[in-house]
């Protein structure tokens, strides 16, 4: 048998659902889900990787399955790891449990952890790969992209009116979008490892840049790192981003290095963030910083909150981005359009040549 059974396909769909529960808490590790089927093809164990340093999905599922895993199948969203870090190798744990078949979605691109499939096959375990691969990749896209490229997966979030204005002509911008959209943004913040803004945003808004519940003001348990791109070190000592509520890095040109314009080198910044354990980041800076990241080809996903309002004048949501003429326009693939309160949330990814 070389293809996944209907029971295994259903189990993989479930494993992908389970993996999503770890979004925002597993970094710098991936999100992973696992389902154990007994010899009769019945679900006897489930698990997901909940937090970095905690038990991996396979270990949780095997503990639930117990002796029922013997002679059964492990269905897992990512190739079982083959190394000992803060936890032991999952490939060996599956072998020790007596699993005779492993169905996986995505091969592990991490050089330190890959090889689990080979270890399993060497022990006589049948391994089927690529099952629901596209779905599992989508659910783990930030980590997979980051590990393959050595830089965080970057989401640019912006809010604007229908005519593309981020503020009125007099500079007022609170609130362009609805409370429902702002709550959605806080949920989005809770799924990433870092929030990036420019010093201009800090000086103008003095936001805390934390993930919190707007209903009661409480902070999320895990806070993303706050990153201020501040070429000349102008972030005030009393700024809210320095309040200790979350890790903060004021990234200056003197520390990071400069690009051709004398500003913080964004490519180096992203490489340094990866070295600091950041696998996904949310860009919430102003239009100029957004344009710089887009121009450098560093934006992987765009989430725009569009309010049903018209201003007719005022700052644009995006400036620069390296576009000089219509043929330079950055083309996007719209992947989702949804209504959030009275607003539209548009999700898109830049089209890139392969």
Binding residues: 56, 81, 90, 159, 173, 175, 189, 201, 205, 209, 212, 231, 284, 286-292
CA–CA separation, 79 vs 104, rounded Å? 6
Q: What are phi and psi of 6, to 5 degrees?
A: -65, -35
- Whether 180 and 328 have beta carbons less than 8 Å apart is answered as no
**Nearest alpha carbon to residue 74 among 94, 90, 60:** 94
**Nearest alpha carbon to residue 307 among 334, 336, 348, 344:** 344
- Whether 298 and 267 have beta carbons less than 8 Å apart is answered as yes
Q: Could you give the 3-state DSSP secondary structure of residue 344? A: strand
**Nearest alpha carbon to residue 36 among 23, 54, 18:** 18
Helices (H), the chain: 6-20, 57-65, 90-96, 116-122, 133-139, 141-149, 179-189, 199-205, 253-256, 266-275, 287-295
Question: Which positions ≥6 away from 243 have C-beta within 8 Å?
Answer: 208
Question: Pseudo-torsion of CA 239, 242, 247, 250, nearest 10°?
Answer: 70
Q: Which two tokens stand for residue 11?
A: 């189990």
Place of tokens 């080198």: 265
| Cis ω for the linkage preceding 175 (within 30 of 0) | yes
Q: How many CB atoms lie within 10 A of CB 17?
A: 16
Q: Which residues does the annotation place in the binding site for Zn(2+)?
A: 56, 81, 90
Of 8, 46, 58, 79, catalytic: 58
Q: Which residues does the annotation place in the binding site for substrate?
A: 173, 189, 209, 212, 284
- Is position 58 annotated as part of the catalytic site? yes
Positions marked active-site: 58
């Amino acid at each position: 048998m070389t293809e996944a059974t209907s029971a295994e396909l259903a189990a993989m769909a479930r494993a992908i659902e389970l993996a999503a529960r770890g979004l925002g808490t597993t970094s710098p590790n991936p999100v992973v889900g696992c389902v154990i089927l007994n010899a009769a093809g019945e679900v006897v164990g489930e698990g997901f990787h909940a937090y970095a340093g905690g038990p991996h999905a396979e270990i949780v599922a095997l503990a639930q399955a117990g002796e029922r895993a013997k002679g059964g199948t492990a269905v897992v969203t990512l190739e079982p790891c083959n190394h000992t870090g803060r936890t032991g190798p999952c490939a060996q744990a599956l072998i020790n449990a007596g699993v005779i078949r492993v169905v996986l979605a995505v091969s592990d691109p991490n050089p330190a952890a890959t090889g689990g499939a080979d270890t399993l096959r060497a022990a006589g375990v049948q391994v089927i790969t690529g099952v629901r691969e596209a779905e599992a990749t989508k659910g783990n896209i930030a980590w997979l992209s980051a590990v393959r490229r050595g830089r965080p997966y970057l989401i640019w979030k912006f809010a604007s009116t229908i005519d593309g204005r981020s503020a009125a002509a007099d500079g007022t911008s609170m609130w362009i979008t609805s409370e429902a959209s702002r709550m959605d943004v806080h949920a989005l913040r809770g799924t990433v490892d870092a929030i990036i803004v420019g010093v201009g945003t800090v000086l103008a808004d003095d936001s805390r840049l934390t993930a919190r519940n707007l209903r009661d003001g409480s902070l999320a348990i895990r806070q993303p790192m706050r990153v201020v791109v501040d070429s000349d070190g102008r972030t005030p000592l009393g700024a809210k981003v320095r309040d200790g509520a979350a890790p903060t890095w004021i990234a200056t040109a003197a520390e990071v290095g400069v690009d051709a314009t004398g500003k913080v080198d964004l490519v180096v910044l992203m490489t340094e963030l990866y070295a600091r354990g950041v696998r996904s980041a949310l860009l919430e800076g102003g239009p100029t910083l957004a344009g710089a990241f887009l121009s450098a080809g560093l934006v992987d996903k765009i989430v725009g909150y569009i309010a049903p309002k018209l201003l007719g004048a005022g700052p644009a949501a995006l400036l620069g981005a390296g576009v000089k003429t219509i043929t330079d326009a950055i083309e996007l693939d719209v992947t989702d359009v949804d209504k959030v309160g009275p607003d539209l949330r548009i999700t898109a990814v830049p089209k890139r040549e392969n």
